[in-house]
Amino acid sequence: PLVSMKEMLETANKNRYAVGQFNLNNLEYVQAILQAAEEEKSPVILGVSEGAGKYMGGFNVVVAMVKATMEAQGTTVPVAIHLDHGSSFESCAKAIHAGFTSVMIDASHDPFEENIAVTSKVVELAHFHGVSVEAELGTVGGNEDGVQGGIMYADTNECKELVERTGVDCLAPALGSVHGPYQGEPNLGFKEMEEINTVAGVPLVLHGGTGIPVADIQKAISYGTSKINVNTENQIQQTKVVREVLEANPEMIDPRKYLGPSRDAIKDTVIGKMREFGSSGKA
Ligand code: G3H
Ligand code: ZN
């Protein structure tokens, strides 16, 4: 069924595993990720950035596509459709009214008080509709859907205050993670993560899940991380297969012949992450 992230993440937090957020780019992603979740008996979060939503024809199209695919595939595991890095109240409202079951309001680039103000407004609307909310503090490195950011750590006291004053369901404190591939090994602020986990009182979210070693994933989960976002890894594996197939068959023109095998690559990648995150068998 389609559900919000609230219960999913609270259960994960209690039982020390993380639910993966896998970002959608087109229909093949919906099919592959839902198949992976069903086979693994894992809860799953489908992430939709504003850019990807636009590419797929708008939030209504995304929701219709997800619902129809769940029905066609006979999905039984809990699924959330989540707006990733929502940039404004209006964008979150649009997603909520289109039928998203969860939204992220990312006002991490705004001054603290403005972040609180817009996040509170989103929480009020979202909770009225039974929709869960994720907020962010600090700056994730790399590219945030067009916004290029340097790394800035979230402040522990601000995390505590933001959760208390807004009532968000989960929090993404940026602690050295990066969107896209890491230059060398990631260097995550586990000391800060532990502190924030102690004071925040909600499940934590880790952005930039591509390229984080398993040992770090496990450490993050032990410090209260209950949601891990992955996008780039699926894109890398998908595109690798498309390239291989087209290079081996230069006259191939049927998209089903190269998108089909690349869809399997997405599914295999998602299954691998679900096992790493410990969410397999939890639905
Ligand atoms: O919000 C999306 C994620 O943080 C994706 O990060 O592309 O590095 O896997 P990634
Ligand atoms: Zn992110």
End-to-end CA distance of the chain: 11
pLDDT digits (tens, 9 = 90+) for 75-118: 999 999 999 999 999 999 999 999 999 999 999 999 999 999 99
Strands 147-149, 141-144: pairing is antiparallel
**231 marked as binding residue:** yes
Joined tokens for residue 40: 């693994």
Mutation test residue for ligand 1: of 232, 236, 277, the one with most atoms within 8 Å of CB: 232
Residue 169 CA to ligand 2 center (angstroms) comes to 17
With a pLDDT cut of 70, the percent of the chain lying above it is 98
User: CA 17, CA 12: separation in Å to the nearest integer?
Assistant: 5
Find out whether 198 is annotated in a ligand binding site: no
Q: How many CB atoms lie within 10 A of CB 281?
A: 11
Per-domain residue ranges of the chain: 6-236+271-277
Mean pLDDT of 254-265: 98
The residue count for the chain = 283
Tell me: is residue 156 an annotated ligand-binding position: no
Calpha distance 270→283 (Å, rounded): 15
Q: Which of 271, 178, 179, 159 is nearest to 224 (CA)?
A: 159
Binding site membership of 108 for ligand 1 (Cβ less than 6 Å): no
- On the CB side of 246, how many CA atoms lie within 13 Å of its CA? 13
Complex prediction ipTM: 0.99
Q: Is 86 in the pocket of ligand 1 (CB under 6 A)?
A: no
Q: Which of 160, 167, 124, 132 is nearest to 3 (CA)?
A: 132
What is the whole-number distance in angstroms between the Cα of residue 227 and the centre of ligand 1? Answer: 12
The CATH number of the domain covering residues in 6-236+271-277: 3.20.20.70
Active-site positions read 84
Tell how strand 44-49 and strand 79-86 pair up.
Answer: parallel
CB of 139 within 8 A of CB of 85? no
Ligand 1 pocket: which of 84, 105, 145, 210 to mutate (most atoms within 8 A of CB): 210
Q: How many CA atoms lie within 13 A of 183 on its CB side?
A: 3
Other Cβ atoms less than 10 A from the Cβ of 22: the count is: 27
Give the pLDDT band of residue 150 (cuts 50, 70, 90).
confident
Instruction: For the full predicted model, state whether its pTM sits above 0.95.
Output: yes
Confidence of residue 205 (pLDDT cuts 50, 70, 90): very high
In angstroms, the CA 276 to CA 255 distance is 31
E strand spans, the chain: 19-23, 44-49, 79-86, 102-105, 132-137, 141-144, 147-149, 170-173, 178-179, 204-206, 225-230
